[in-house]
Chain A
Amino acid sequence: MIPELGHFALILALLLSVAQAVFGLAGGARSNTAWMAASRSAVVGQFVFTALAFGTLAWAFIQRDFSVLYVATNSHSELPLFYRVAAVWGAHEGSLLLWSLCLAAWTLAVAAGSKALEAPFRSRVLGFLGLISIGFQLFMLTTSNPFKRLIPAASEGLDLNPLLQDFALAVHPPILYLGYVGFSVAFAFACATLLEGRLDAAWARWTRPWTLAAWLFLTIGIALGSWWAYYELGWGGWWFWDPVENASFMPWLAGTALIHSLAVTEKRGLFKSWTLLLAVSAFSLSLLGTFLVRSGVLISVHAFATDPKRGIFILAFLTIVIGGALLLFAWRAPRLRSSAAFEPTSRESFLLLNNAFLIAALSLILLGTLYPLFIDALELGKVTVGAPWFNLMFLVPMLPLLALLGVGMHAAWKRGLLGTAKYRLYAIAGIGIAGSLLVGGAAYGDIRPMTTLGFALALWVMLSSLAMPWARIRARQPLPAAALGMVIAHFGVGLTTLGITGVQSFKVEKDFALGVGESAQIAGYDFKLAALRDVQGMNFIGVEADVVVSREGSPVTVLHPQKRLYNSGGNPMTEAGIEVGAARDLFAALGDQLGQGRWSMRLQYKPLIRYIWLGAILIALGGLVAALDRRYRAPVQARAGEAVVPVAQ
């Protein structure tokens, strides 16, 4: 009975989405107050019923209702409560419902938090968000209903994939989705703007905090995924250029370009159509990412054939959303003229370059991700684009981007670089290069060109970020939250660069065959397999090893890698033993029994790897600080006082 209620709630949510879209768009077009109010009420209703549908599915999981097909496929009676809840979004159908819920929540937030916007514009935004909701809810109801019954009911569930039974991966999808879906707000703002054919500073200012919020969730989501891959997959890598990772990274790059381009649009009224195009792209890539990951197209283009209905729906939906938005853009964007001059060394120029490099990186990753799909679809063979290609292609635009980042932060709007800033930057560059040589030489006893370049760029970006607030404070100038956020995020970029350089240059990974009492050495550390014992968890049994690590005779730590076997059957799982450190991680994973009392073990030394994620956290934190800037929440002043650029003609 309860699952049917959920199904029914979903149908009601779809009807309300239709009302939201129709009344929103029509009300906006006719400035009909009653219709616009109806659209806002539909937003609330849509959220309530989507949440209800989500709640009933969660309830079915908590109650172990194996008469629901989706629950029976993705849960198990012994699964702990936390993972039973997380299992709701463990596969295709439930993750779509989560997507829909995130969208309803963002829509509700927009409806509540945009009272200061002009009513017709606001109404159109809600209308466009409604159109997206319709697409997702229709997709669920026609092809991917999570409430489908299994008759007769299964006596036991198939269990949630053990890889997903982990904290980071349980919270990874919701956070990532909040990011993906959050770009729908910028997308709807862009579509509504194009429809009105008018873009002013107030628009850009309204879009900025929403975009920042979506982008910061996406940042955390990607970092969580990377962290999870590192400790849970048991490989010790932190980024694999897997299509699934790329799918979340591409909207992030587009979003990063967007928040930078929005700054120019707000402050100087430039790059208008470009900003709108980026807003459309960021969301389109989010949609593409969701579908790439969840549709099975990555598994094989021909996997579509197993359920053609889904494939066709996805293609049609992507075509309508992306094609429709681009058509709207082609039709309306020429109306958005912007004209203002700026110097080659002004901040506008640097932000333009920032966008160029980010989009170059994005295009290359898109090429590498989709190329195998095209080749496969054309029956030209099965290929994979190797990680070395992605590494190289990403590095090419990123190196100049990092170098320019340090300068661009200090450039003034419109005018060129200031004289005093110039000398400060020379000093920072000098310190960066010297520091880089020092770190490479003294700490690792090895000086290589790419490593030196990496460390130098990391120090350059970090110091340059700190120089900005330092100069401001010394000159007793105010440091608004938006500027502070920028400083924090850019410092984070430097920190992540530091981590990546350290790991990629000096990591050691090696497999060994060890018996109890035997030891192996990597990177100056001695790893001794001291003991093996049986362990038992809530829904698994396993073997745990004591790996005693020492350096030059003095003890460092004891690692406890595990090999688990879940009661629900299936394959064993590796839980790595990791000692976290400021300078390095030490990592041990337990493999298989090799005979003669030996086990295979993977030992790793990962210098500076923590800074990759610490940097990502700072990047997200910077986004949060900037999004909370008071300026964005101040009521929109009378339009007369704004730099309104009306439609030309």
Chain B
Amino acid sequence: MAPRRKRLLAVVAILAGVGAATALAMLAFEDNLLYFYNPSQVLAGDAPSGRTFRIGGMVTEGSLKRTEGTLEVRFVVTDYQHSIPVRYEGLLPDLFREGQGVIAHGKLSAAGEFEADEVLAKHDENYMPPEVAESLHTPTPARVSE
């Protein structure tokens, strides 16, 4: 084979491979994209039912309730307009606190309670989760220093 043709073939092969991979990747996106909603959107019915998604907002002061001696914990997430009760079983992250931003991953139950299988707080205590910050429409600097 002429080297030129060979190189052409190689380029075509690479492009075809990358193209096929990208097509597959886009298809797989469907099942693995996690959407984010704030409590108002969830109450307005924007969030999908029966599918996992993420909610975020501030943990309402005084809303954290544990079932004594078990891992079950309940708290309320708010965007200061609407609130959603959240139920979770497991370890809460170190940065979890009442009055702080939080993101929960899970499903909405029939009773309107958010059944979380994962609760996240941001690494840096000075950060508010960005989705939370934006959904609250309060301009928050990325760091306190700036």
Contact = CB atoms under 8 A, between A and B. Distances in A.
Contacts of A371: 29
Given A306-B139, A356-B13, A363-B21, A383 B34 contact: yes
Contacts of A15: none
A384 B145 contact: no
Interface of B: 1, 3-4, 6, 10, 13-14, 17-18, 21-22, 24-25, 28-29, 31-36, 54, 66, 68-71, 89-92, 94-95, 97, 123-125, 127, 130-131, 133-134, 139, 141-146
A6 interface: no
6 contacts: A300-B131, A368-B25, A381-B36, A384-B54, A571-B95, A596-B68
A93 to B, nearest CB: 9
Contacts of B127: 299
A163 B22 contact: no
A389 B21 CA distance: 13
A307 interface: yes
Interface in A39-58: none
A166 interface: no
A352 B10 contact: yes
A307 B145 CA distance: 12
B68 to A, nearest CB: 4
Given A91-B143, A381-B36, A571-B97, A356 B17 contact: yes
Contacts of B124: 161, 163
B146 A307 contact: yes
A600 B90 contact: yes
A360 B22 CA distance: 8
B134 A300 contact: yes
Contacts of B25: 364, 367-368, 389, 393
Nearest to A301: B130
B18 A363 contact: yes
Most interface-central of A234, A574, A600 (chain B CB within 10 A)? A600
Contact of B33 (A161, A307, A385, A594): A385
Interface string A303-324: 1001100000000000000000
A511 interface: yes
A161 B123 CA distance: 9
Contacts of A392: 28
A92 B3 CA distance: 49
B28 A393 contact: yes
Interface in A67-106: 69-70, 73, 91-92
A513 interface: yes
Contacts of A594: 66, 68-71
Contacts of B4: 339
A341 interface: yes
A382 B28 contact: no
A359 B94 contact: no
Contacts of B70: 513, 594, 598
Given A511-B90, A600-B90, A595 B33 contact: no
Interface residues of A, number: 60
Nearest to A368: B25
A296 interface: yes
B34 A384 contact: yes
A125 to B, nearest CB: 28
Most interface-central of B3, B32, B54, B141 (chain A CB within 10 A)? B32
A335 interface: no
Contacts of A512: 71
A382 B18 CA distance: 27
Contacts of B146: 306-307
Most interface-central of B28, B90, B131, B142 (chain A CB within 10 A)? B142
Given A69-B145, A356-B13, A393-B25, A384 B33 contact: yes
A596 B94 contact: no
Give the interface SS of chain B, mostly helix, strand, loop or mixed.
mixed
Interface in A139-174: 158, 161, 163
- Top 9 nearest A-B pairs (CB, nearest first) are A596-B69, A389-B32, A382-B36, A300-B130, A591-B91, A73-B145, A595-B68, A511-B90, A386-B32
Given A307-B146, A341-B6, A574-B94, A359 B29 contact: no
Nearest to A393: B25
Given A161-B124, A385-B32, A511-B71, A356 B14 contact: yes
B36 A383 contact: yes
B133 A300 contact: yes
A597 B70 CA distance: 11
B94 to A, nearest CB: 5
Nearest to B20: A360
Contacts of B28: 389, 392-393
Given A299-B127, A339-B3, A385-B33, A306 B21 contact: no
A571 B94 contact: yes
Given A299-B142, A306-B146, A371-B29, 13 more contacts: A161-B123, A300-B134, A306-B139, A356-B17, A359-B14, A360-B21, A363-B18, A383-B36, A384-B36, A386-B32, A389-B28, A397-B21, A591-B91
Most interface-central of A70, A91, A591 (chain B CB within 10 A)? A591
A173 B146 CA distance: 22
Nearest to A589: B91
A601 B10 CA distance: 54
A176 B124 CA distance: 21
A40 to B, nearest CB: 39
Nearest to A342: B6
B35 A306 contact: no
A396 B33 contact: no
Contacts of A306: 139, 141-142, 146
Contacts of A364: 21-22, 25
Contacts of B6: 341
A396 B34 contact: no
Contacts of A302: 130, 134
Interface string A23-44: 0000000000000000000000
Contacts of B24: 393, 396
A239 to B, nearest CB: 16
Most interface-central of A383, A596, A602 (chain B CB within 10 A)? A383
Contacts of A91: 143, 145
B144 A158 contact: yes
Most interface-central of B91, B95, B133, B141 (chain A CB within 10 A)? B91
B42 to A, nearest CB: 13
A449 interface: no
A591 B3 contact: no
B99 to A, nearest CB: 12
A591 B92 contact: yes
Contacts of A397: 21
Contacts of B144: 73, 158
Nearest to B13: A356
A340 B142 CA distance: 54
Given A382-B36, A383-B34, A572-B94, A340 B22 contact: no
